[in-house]
Structure 1
Amino acid sequence: MNLTRRSFGAMSGAALAMGFAALVSAGAVASFATTATAQESETLVIAVPSDPAGLEPGTNKAEPVGSEIILNVFDTLVAWKAPDFAELEGRLASGWSISEDGKTFTFDLQDGVAFQDGTPFNAEAVKFSLERTKELNPYVKASLGMIDSIETPTDDEVVIHLSEPYPAFMSILAQPQAAIVSPAAVEKYGDDFANQPVGTGPFAFRAYQPDTRVVLDANPDYFRGEPKLKRLIYRIIPEASTRRLELENGGIDVIQQQSQLSAVPSEEMKAFANNPDIAIIEKPSQIIRQLEFNNSKTDSPVADIKVREAIAHAIDYDGLLSGVFDGTAERVYGPLTSNSWAFDPKVKDLAPKYDPELSKTLLAEAGYEPGDLNLKLYSFQGSLWGDVATFVQANLADVGINTEIAQTEFPSYRALHVAGDWDIALDGRQPWYNDPDAHITIGYLSGLKDTAMTFRMPENPSLDALILKAQQDPDMEARKALYGAIQEELVTGIPGAYLFSPKLIVFTRSNVDGLVINSAPPLTEYFGVSKE
């Protein structure tokens, strides 16, 4: 009955009346049900917690929902190879080479690829797309900003010259902001291209209803083969309880975590564990959630390292993991997660440990009596962000620090954070490419403090030089050693209190097959997914 009701709901009133007239016989009813079942088996419904933003590469700023849609509507030159995501494979590039100095990248392109509007994909489209995103999007200043020039010797060859060596550049080309757009569609739609995105990907944009849904249809002419699914529907369902009920009842097929603290709570995760109709996919992530200090605000209490140390020692990290997350997150000790290839194990010993008495001593040394220090703790909106903020607030109260929690809508929060109008704030970073540079450069390079939500690091020539050398050195072992030195300096300098890394957790109906999770970026491609 639910199936029939959903199918009728998509019809106009006139079509509905005609449908009832046609369905007077049992045979017609059976035929309709068979067709509806077939359509449902080829449609995947994905629940996401928020309206998408940044639906096209040129303006995307790592918004989770929009970024995932990009990777299904558009293609990048290269992508991380499933299921391990440990190496890059060609997508729109069939092959590539890198010069010895690490500054020139030459790509051979796939033949016979067309955009979803029928126009041909070629080298000029690559040049147009990357230069367009570089111009439009301040978010990519630290990465695509290194592009010095792009040459197109033939329709099938692109040569990208960088101003500096950048070993992580290949990873950059796999992220959503580096996806290739249709130049003809950009010219046709202009500023409205974000509402009419056109790429070469396995699914084509069909419709968007604000705060309701995004619909993508399979691209039958996709150069890698036709997708197994005919349609993707992203349903926007902010309430976790509603997402849970919809999954249990079969109204949706997938609940995506979307790398935010808005996944189904752990109690409901336990309930799902005993439901044979639901599968749970878990994977460690490279996402970091932290309590950040505004390190460039000289008149702030946190300008004093003793205050920063006191706050870092006041937090019960293990209690946060067990009390709020119940096994759905892991400890973070510094600026990189422990599953990063550049993680230095000595950071575990250097990281601040929960020690309320030491915290009180440090506050006294900084000149604060219990109750003297008052701070506003900014946080994203959402129940789990609220839980984390409340936990931290209680920890700080135990050592005599008063905090007022201010949960703020994301656009306002981003503006406030970038402007530096805060002392302490809950924030996080999710890597959009599989390299420590994704955490380190944008988070801690002083020259980028005003460009995004960062630790707002003050000018530090020696640390800045280390970060840039680690970013540019072509020797991977040398880079690992450099990142070890960076981690040690950051952890001892206490630019923030590193809290936890949420696991990537996706809930699906048990008949969903072929879905795999990538940790960097934590976005899902549905080209190989089907429903049994």
Structure 2
Amino acid sequence: MMSTMSMKQAGTRMLTLALAALLGLAVDRGAAAQVFTGAFDVGAAGNAQKFNPLIAPAGFGFYNKYFGTLSLYDAGLRKISGDLAESWTYAEDGKRLVIRLRKGVKWHDGKPFTAADVKFTLGLVKHPDMASVFASRLSDVRAITTPDAHTVVLELAKMDASLPDAFTSIMIVPEHLLGKIPARELRNSTWWKSPVGTGPFKWARYSPDQYVELVANQDFYRGKPQLAKLVNRYFKDGSTATIALQAGEIQFSAMTLDQVRENRSTRAVHVIEGPSHVLNYIGFNNGDPRFKDLRVRQALLLAIDRKAIARSIFGGTASIGNCALTLPQYVPADIEQYDYHVAHAKALLRAAGWKQAEPLEMLTYYNDQASKDVMAVLQAMLGKVGIQVRPRFVDGSTFGTLTDAGRFSLVYAGAGNGPDPSTLVPLMKSSFAPPRGVNRMRVNIPELDSLFEAAQQEADDASRTAIYQQMCRVTNAQLPWIPLWVGNRFGGFSKKVGNMVWTPAPGGGRYQDYPERWTIEQAP
């Protein structure tokens, strides 16, 4: 059988692939046991060897192979539908959300999935000892009750229309196995290295620094997977993973632009690209007096020829961003475009009395060659207007430690907007500055806070869109971040892959990719 290709391009310009149709593979359903090996944690969307999904900012593309969430987006990141939840309904005043759960779902140990598991998981996310990255998304949840085994009721302080989006990130975990473990102990428990979920594949084994092996869940509620095993293989770097992909050792890996360019001559693998929905930006500590003057922030942006960088370094695979939001429907046409203008940037800095005794360190956790080229160009362009910077490349953990502590001047980073801009709440709302949250740039704009509140309380799509457009105007005018561009991301696939759905989503997932349908052509 061959699948049909579904590749839609709406306002998000997000690309989706059903690979079987693209590759034209005929799949023998009676073939021998199939093993699919991928480098699921290579690239910015991975979260290698960090197994607690409740504290994970990325890695969803593999977590949701063995865990389940209440809801998921479609592969085009446009519509939310139920996964472990069948439906959800808000009360008329918006202060109660009733979630109806899917029946007949089992945990991998055979125990039934129930409302108690959902209540337990959401409670864990809210528990301060878990320190979950999703806690802020549930801040308006005041009480959780379970009237029966398949119903969960959330009592809310106020309407929060963003909760279904939040649920796409929260992997539900088993109360019957974890309920007696204190949250502080569970956060870093070894249990996560042999977990029990509800997903299409079950955990089989973990070999540190080598791989995780999953096996088919025969009782998966949508049906037994076509693959017998799904393996996530670890690599020290993306180049090694790409070599393994080209050699046929693995069937999937994220790829960098440089690797994609190299592949164009050999055509060894199929490459699919699409907008990442991640805004790359220059961030700074908004509490630092050097950046208090708006003219300094404007000069930073005007000094950067973003169009030239998008053309020369990204080969036209990046689009310019002018506010913190990236989806076209949320970006009004009347915002400032901040076209490259060196003379204007210099004049603004003179007017602001800019003086610099030593170079400003610019941190980044991006370590691919294209990002290194970007950092070099940013250093040169900013230097032309009198802002001296010194690039510093660190890993993600070090970046988090330094920015949480406020020990930074500038950063080159990325923020996933996702299909719902409410994902920016923990990144930009003032109440989530460290240590409470991950507003590491210490953004503190009262009007922006009010807009976040208004959007969460608005159920009407048109009204929420208007609020988010105003949010774009505010971040465009006040520049709490220096917006740069949204780059494309790339996935490389073996020519033997069938029925695999993939889209370059923020964090690597939160969409329904039907892994139980994936196949791989067997050797003769």
User: Could you say which TM-score interval applies, normalised by the shorter chain?
Assistant: 0.7 to 0.9
- Cα–Cα, structure 1 residues 220 and 497, in superposed 2: closer, same or farther, change >3 Å? same
Note the C-alpha offset of 1:51. 6.1
On the 8 A contact 2:270/2:493 being kept in 1, the answer is: yes
TM alignment of 1:493-532, pairs within 5 A: 493-518=478-503, 519=505, 522-523=508-509, 525=513, 526-532=515-521
- Cα–Cα, structure 1 residues 201 and 173, in superposed 2: closer, same or farther, change >3 Å? same
Aligned AA for 2:408?
W
TM alignment of 1:1-80, pairs within 5 A: 38-39=32-33, 41-46=34-39, 48-49=41-42, 52-58=48-54, 60-62=55-57, 64-65=58-59, 67-80=60-73
**Of 126-135 and 441-450, the range deviating more from structure 2:** 441-450
| C-alpha separation in 1, matches of 2:368 and 2:148 | 53
On the 8 A contact 1:55/1:194 being kept in 2, the answer is: yes
User: Which residue in the other structure is 2:4 paired with?
Assistant: none
Residue 142 of structure 1: which of 136, 147, 172 is its match? 136
Equivalenced residues, count: 473
| C-alpha separation in 2, matches of 1:427 and 1:309 | 18
With normalisation by structure 2, the TM-score equals 0.84
Q: Note the alpha carbon deviations across 1:373-432, whole angstroms, 9 max, x for none.
A: 63111111513432222221111112222111122222121021122222211111114x
| C-alpha separation in 2, matches of 1:188 and 1:472 | 35
| C-alpha separation in 2, matches of 1:520 and 1:414 | 18
Residue 430 of structure 1: which of 416, 429, 435 is its match? 416
User: Which residue in the other structure is 2:216 paired with?
Assistant: 218
On the 8 A contact 1:48/1:238 being kept in 2, the answer is: no
What is the SS of the residue equivalent to 2:374?
A: helix
1:346 aligns with 2:331: no
Note the C-alpha offset of 1:187. 4.9
With normalisation by structure 1, the TM-score equals 0.83
User: Which residue in the other structure is 2:447 paired with?
Assistant: 462
What is the SS of the residue equivalent to 1:505?
A: strand
On the 8 A contact 1:293/1:424 being kept in 2, the answer is: yes
- Cα–Cα, structure 1 residues 187 and 471, in superposed 2: closer, same or farther, change >3 Å? closer
On the 8 A contact 1:114/1:121 being kept in 2, the answer is: yes
Note the C-alpha offset of 1:484. 1.7
User: Which residue in the other structure is 1:3 paired with?
Assistant: none
What is the SS of the residue equivalent to 2:463?
A: helix
| C-alpha separation in 2, matches of 1:70 and 1:420 | 31
Residue 312 of structure 1: which of 288, 293, 301 is its match? 301
User: Which residue in the other structure is 1:412 paired with?
Assistant: 398
Note the C-alpha offset of 1:320. 1.5
Q: Note the alpha carbon deviations across 1:217-276, whole angstroms, 9 max, x for none.
A: 1111111111121111111223333222211110111012xxxxxx3333x313434555
User: Which residue in the other structure is 2:460 paired with?
Assistant: 475
- Cα–Cα, structure 1 residues 334 and 462, in superposed 2: closer, same or farther, change >3 Å? closer
- Cα–Cα, structure 1 residues 157 and 493, in superposed 2: closer, same or farther, change >3 Å? same
Note the C-alpha offset of 1:208. 2.1
User: Which residue in the other structure is 2:5 paired with?
Assistant: none
- Cα–Cα, structure 1 residues 226 and 471, in superposed 2: closer, same or farther, change >3 Å? same
| C-alpha separation in 2, matches of 1:239 and 1:54 | 16
Note the C-alpha offset of 1:520. 5.1
Q: Note the alpha carbon deviations across 1:286-337, whole angstroms, 9 max, x for none.
A: 1111001211223xx2222222111111111012112222233222221111
| C-alpha separation in 1, matches of 2:286 and 2:164 | 31
| C-alpha separation in 1, matches of 2:37 and 2:88 | 34
1:181 aligns with 2:181: no
1:331 aligns with 2:329: no
Note the C-alpha offset of 1:521. 5.3
| C-alpha separation in 2, matches of 1:208 and 1:159 | 36
Aligned AA for 1:106?
V
Note the C-alpha offset of 1:465. 1.6
On the 8 A contact 1:414/1:453 being kept in 2, the answer is: no
1:289 aligns with 2:287: no
Consecutive unaligned residues of structure 2, counting only runs of 5 or more, are 1-30
| C-alpha separation in 2, matches of 1:504 and 1:387 | 17
| C-alpha separation in 1, matches of 2:281 and 2:381 | 15
- Cα–Cα, structure 1 residues 291 and 146, in superposed 2: closer, same or farther, change >3 Å? same
| C-alpha separation in 2, matches of 1:91 and 1:328 | 33
User: Which residue in the other structure is 2:118 paired with?
Assistant: 126
On the 8 A contact 2:90/2:96 being kept in 1, the answer is: yes
- Cα–Cα, structure 1 residues 100 and 465, in superposed 2: closer, same or farther, change >3 Å? same
TM alignment of 1:167-178, pairs within 5 A: 167-175=161-169, 178=170
On the 8 A contact 1:247/1:254 being kept in 2, the answer is: yes
1:162 aligns with 2:156: yes
| C-alpha separation in 2, matches of 1:143 and 1:239 | 32
1:446 aligns with 2:430: yes
What is the SS of the residue equivalent to 1:286?
A: strand
1:396 aligns with 2:382: yes
Q: Note the alpha carbon deviations across 1:320-355, whole angstroms, 9 max, x for none.
A: 11222223322222111144x4232323xx032211
What is the SS of the residue equivalent to 1:139?
A: coil
| C-alpha separation in 2, matches of 1:271 and 1:462 | 47
| C-alpha separation in 2, matches of 1:53 and 1:390 | 31
The RMSD of aligned alpha carbons is 2.3
| C-alpha separation in 2, matches of 1:502 and 1:294 | 24
Aligned AA for 2:119?
K
Identical aligned pairs, as a percentage? 26
- Cα–Cα, structure 1 residues 272 and 406, in superposed 2: closer, same or farther, change >3 Å? closer
On the 8 A contact 1:51/1:211 being kept in 2, the answer is: no
User: Which residue in the other structure is 2:476 paired with?
Assistant: 491
On the 8 A contact 1:417/1:453 being kept in 2, the answer is: no
Note the C-alpha offset of 1:453. 4.6
